[in-house]
Structure 1
Amino acid sequence: MSKTVVAVFSSRGRAEQAVSSLREAGFNKEISIAAKGEDHKGGRGNTDYFGATMAADAGDGLSDGVAAGGLLGGLAGLAVGAGALVVPGIGPLIAAGPIAGMLSGAATGGIAGGLVDWGIPEAEGRQYEEDVKQGRILVSVQASDNKADEAASILKSQGADRVKTH
């Protein structure tokens, strides 16, 4: 059976360190990241929180939001399948890992709607969505029962504001 461990970080640096520590412990494709992008107008597009260049006319698709030649650096670059998308009610969002595909397919339901598929109660999903809207970083790990405790311990030790296993 699989569990989802979800952590919320206020600090980008702590979130980056947590993801690095998870990778060192053998987690990789199981790691997901979601964070609100910050628009900074100029040039060929907008630069988000993580240094990705987003096209000014970004669509709703995951790959539509990343301009040609743009790089996803820092935190998003630590996970598989990183990309930018626009989620109604949130705006520009950087997502990486399994959550990226989930959100691009269910963008109209927002983060909360997508997390229900992982067994996270809707009310908690709405809280996680609100956390991201407020600029916090969501890091989650899908793990087997025997690895979920290890993932939670790593996230806690790296300074997560809160960690919960579902």
Structure 2
Amino acid sequence: MSKTVIGIFGSEDAARRAVEELRNSGFGTNEISIVAREGAGRGGDATMGMGNDISGGVTTGGVLGGLAGLAAGAGALAIPGIGPLIAAGPIAGLISGAATGGIAGGLLDWGIPEERGRYYEGKVREGKILATIRAEDNKVDKAAQVLRNQGATDVETH
């Protein structure tokens, strides 16, 4: 049975290190997701516009620049009440499908209670970077350990 491990990063560098360690530990791009507001984790405004392609990750200058290639399905979204987001990985489809429900609405599909989803959505609104790993039971402890080792806060398994 699949579970979701979720955590918050305060910097793009920490999130990038976590994604790289997850990939090196055998997690696939179809298991790792990242969500952030444009400019999150960099201490300033993003330079990337909503129409730019972030999949290359080299020339955009956006929050997920280097992370986009490490997770599948990267794209830009505009969520009412939150603003422009960058999402990479399977969560991008959940969030875009639940646009009116925002991040919390998308997380409901992965078993995250609405109250916790709203908490994490608030963290993204504050400029933090949300990481989720959707994996089988035998991999969730490793995923949580990697997130914590790389500085994630509010790490939970659902």
Normalising by the smaller structure, the TM-score range is: 0.7 to 0.9
Deviation at 1:69, TM superposition (A): 8.7
CA pair 69-6 structure 1, distance change in 2 beyond 3 A: closer
The CA RMSD over aligned residues, in Å, is 1.9
Tell me the equivalent position of 2:62. none
For the residue of structure 1 that corresponds to 2:39, the secondary structure is coil
1:1-34 deviation line (CA, Å, top 9, x unaligned): 1100001011111111000000001112100000
Secondary structure at 1:103's aligned position in 2? helix
State the distance in 2 between where 1:38 and 1:128 align. Answer: 17
Could you tell me which residue of structure 2 aligns to residue 4 of structure 1? Answer: 4
Q: 1:147 to 1:91 in 2, by over 3 A?
A: same
Stretches of structure 1 that go unaligned for 5 or more consecutive residues are: 40-47, 55-64
User: Larger deviation: 30-39 or 97-106?
Assistant: 30-39
* 8 Å Cα contact 2:77/2:96 also seen in 1: yes
Structure 1 contact 5–141 (Cα < 8 Å) conserved: yes
Partner deviation per Cα, 1:63-102 (whole Å, 9 max, x = no partner): xx43369854222332111111100000000000010011
Return the letter of the residue paired with 1:130.
Answer: G
Alignment pair present for 1:90 and 2:82: yes
Structure 2's unaligned 5+ residue stretches are 58-64
CA contact (8 A) 1:33 1:97 kept: yes
Residue of 50, 66, 88 corresponding to 2:51: 66
Using the TM superposition, give the Cα deviation of residue 118 of structure 1 relative to its aligned residue in structure 2, in angstroms: 0.5
Say if 2:54 and 2:75, in contact at 8 Å, map to a contact too. Answer: no
Bigger Rg, which one: 1
Match of 2:21 in 1: 21
Match of 1:59 in 2: none
